[in-house]
Amino acid sequence: MSQLDYATLRAAALEARQRAYAPYSRFSVGAAVLSASGRIFLGGNIENAAYPMTICAERVALFSAYAADEREIVALAVVTPTSDVASPCGACRQVIAELAPQAMILLLNLEGAERIVTPRDLLPFGFGPQQLAELG
């Protein structure tokens, strides 16, 4: 991924954060997915008064890419309003491992901290399609 792509993806994640709907937690998160075709898909967390119905920014962005028939995900940037970068939740880690297994994950905060990880770093012993295939 080039430096220009990185800057574009970071800016897109920041833009996505502005679109988040987080009236309860006030913890707005933005995510941006870069597909192999060069398209960028945005996602912001969307909360609901019935808390379990909330969906994270990472899943919104990934699901948007998949809904647009983009299956090869190159990178995912996630920006949080924390003092250090924050890792995706367990549900998002599972979805990332399946939908973007080769992607570079950029974890960012509003103060400029950043960390680059892989889906395997986030979920080293993940469950996926290969385990289901073993059933025959």
Distance CA(23)–CA(34), nearest Å, equals 28
Burial of 22 by CB count in 10 Å (0-12 exposed, 13-18 middle, 19+ buried)?
A: middle
Sign of CA dihedral 111, 112, 113, 119: positive
Please report, for the chain, the start and end positions of each structural domain, with discontinuous segments joined by +. 3-133
- Does residue 4 surpass a pLDDT of 80? no
Q: What is the pLDDT of residue 6?
A: 87
Domain 3-133 CATH class label: alpha beta
Distance CA(33)–CA(59), nearest Å, equals 10
Per the prediction, the chain carries an average pLDDT of: 95
Task: Average the pLDDT over 107-126 and give the result.
Answer: 96
Q: Does the annotation mark 111 as catalytic?
A: no
Task: Average the pLDDT over 35-61 and give the result.
Answer: 97
Task: Average the pLDDT over 58-75 and give the result.
Answer: 98
Q: What is the pLDDT of residue 81?
A: 97
- Does residue 136 surpass a pLDDT of 80? no
Q: Of 15, 47, 58, 72, which residue is the catalytic one?
A: 58
pLDDT tens digits, residue range 87-99? 999 999 999 999 9
Distance CA(47)–CA(40), nearest Å, equals 23
Task: Average the pLDDT over 71-78 and give the result.
Answer: 97
